[in-house]
Amino acid sequence: MIYVALRGWLMHTTPDFHQLSETAAVFSNVARLRILERLMTGPCIVGDLVQSTGLEQAVISKQLGLLRNAGLLVCQAQGRCREYRLAHPEAVASAGGPEDPDRENIQGGVVMIQIIKNYSQLVTETNHLKGPLILGFFGDFSQGAKDTLPAFKAFCEKHPQWPAYLVDVGKTRDVHGRFAVAEVPAVILVRQGRVEQRVVGTATVATYEHALAGGPAAPQAARPVAAGTPAVKGTPAATARPARSVTVFTTQSCSWCVRVKNYLRQNNVAFKEVDVGRDQRAAMELVRRTGQQGVPQLDINGSYVVGFDKAKIDRLLGLSGAASAMN
C-alpha cells in the first residue's frame, strides 16, 4: 500500500531528497495508513472513513489535512460533504495485486494482519514497537481455531491502533513455545516482549474486547473443536454456556495455577491470565479485594475463588458433568 501511494506521487513529482523524506514520514502514522488503505478502494467522505477505520472523526480530519498537504490526497465538494480520494488513483490500477502476500486483508482491506512465518521475522517486525501488539495463534487442524478466526479478525479491525500478527502453528513451529502457548486458538496482548493479557479457547469479539481491551463482559460462544496435534492442541468440544468473564491470577512457579488453567481449557472456558508475580499493582489490588496473597485465584463474573475449588468454579461457570481428573 505504501508502495502504491508513493508510486503515484513519484509519477507526477520530481522531488529533492528533503521533500521525499518529508513525504515518506507521512507513512509513519497508523491512522494515516488506515485512511490510505480505505481510499485505495475508492473515494469516500469523512463519515465513511469513521465507519470503516474505527477512528474518531477529529483524528481522521487532522490526518486528512496532513495527507492533502503531502500531495497524496485531493478533496472535492459533494453537496454539503467533502469527498476525499487518492491524488493519483491510476497508480493503484497499474500496481496489480496486493504488494505483500504475507498480509491478510480484513473486511474490505481496512485492517492488515501480518502473517508470521518464523520467530526471527516476528522479532524484526516488532522490536521497534513501544506500545502493545496483538498476537493470534491459530491452526487449520483445530475446528475451534477456524471458527474463532473471524472473531479475532473483527477484534483487530476494531483496534487498528494495535499492530496485529497471526501465527499458523501448523506451519510455523518456533513461535508458540516462546509465549507458552500450548493450545489454539490463543490470543495474547504483548508489550515489549512481555505477555500482559491472554485469552485461550474459542471466543467471540466481545470476549476479546473484555479480556484484552478492558471492555464490558459479554456472552461467550462455545464451539465444537477437533482434536489437536501433539505440539499444540485444539480446544475440547463444548456446548453453549451462560455469559461469563473469567480472570485467573497466577505466578510462573505455581503448579496449581497450571491445573486451574488446564481445567478451564478442558471445559472450553476462555479466560484472561494475570501474572501477579510480575504485575505488582495487580497483586496489591487482588489482596485488597480478597485479603489473600496466595494463587491461584479466579475472578468469575465478579465473584472470587481462592485456590482450585472445583465445586465453586463449576457452580459459578454453570458447568455440569465437567471432567474432574487433572494431571
Helices (H) then strands (E): counts for the chain: 12, 15
Structural domains counted in the chain:
3
DSSP 276: T
Q: What per-residue confidence (pLDDT) applies to 102? A: 52
Residue 20, pLDDT score: 60
Q: Are residues 88 and 174 in the same domain?
A: no
Tell me the residue range of the domain where 260 lies: 242-327
CATH code for the domain in which residue 69 is found: 1.10.10.10
Of the candidates 195, 218, 240, which is a domain's last residue?
240
119 and 178 share one domain:
yes
Q: Please report the pLDDT score of residue 325 as a whole number.
A: 42
Let me know whether 264 and 320 are in one domain: yes
Establish how many alpha carbons lie within 13 A of residue 250's alpha carbon, considering only the half-sphere containing its beta carbon.
22
List, in sequence order, every residue forming a beta bridge with 303; answer none if it has no partner.
300
**108: three-class secondary structure by DSSP:** coil
Q: What is the dihedral of CA 159, 163, 168, 169, to 10 degrees?
A: -110
Res 90: pLDDT = 53
pLDDT score for 296: 95
Domain boundary among 50, 65, 94: 94
Sign of CA dihedral 87, 89, 92, 94: negative
User: Rounded CA gap, 110 and 88, in Å?
Assistant: 19
Looking at residue 153, what DSSP letter applies? H
User: Tens of pLDDT along the chain (327 residues)?
Assistant: 444 455 555 555 555 556 566 666 777 777 787 788 778 777 888 888 887 676 788 888 888 988 888 878 889 887 788 889 888 765 444 444 444 445 554 434 444 688 898 888 888 877 777 778 999 999 988 888 898 998 998 898 888 778 899 999 989 989 988 888 888 899 999 887 788 888 888 888 888 988 888 766 544 443 333 333 334 555 443 333 345 688 999 998 899 999 999 898 888 788 888 999 888 888 999 998 888 889 999 999 889 999 999 999 998 888 865 444 433
233 in the same domain as 121: yes
Same domain, 119 and 232: yes
Task: Provide the β-strand partners of residue 248.
Answer: 273, 298
> Residue 91, Cα to own-chain centre: how many angstroms?
31
In this prediction, residue 29 carries a pLDDT of 76
The pLDDT value recorded for residue 73 is 87
Closest to 156 (Cα-Cα) out of 30, 2, 29, 3 = 30
Instruction: Indicate if 110 and 187 belong to the same structural domain.
Output: yes
pLDDT of residue 313: 92
**Domain stops at, among 217, 240, 263:** 240
Question: What's the order of all strands across the beta sheet hosting 44-45?
Answer: 44-45, 81-86, 73-78
**253 Cβ partners below 8 Å, 6+ apart?**
277
In tens, the pLDDT along 173-226 reads 899 888 888 888 999 998 877 888 888 888 888 889 888 887 665 444 433 333
The β-bridge relationship of strands 272-275 and 246-250 is parallel
51 with 179, same domain?
Answer: no
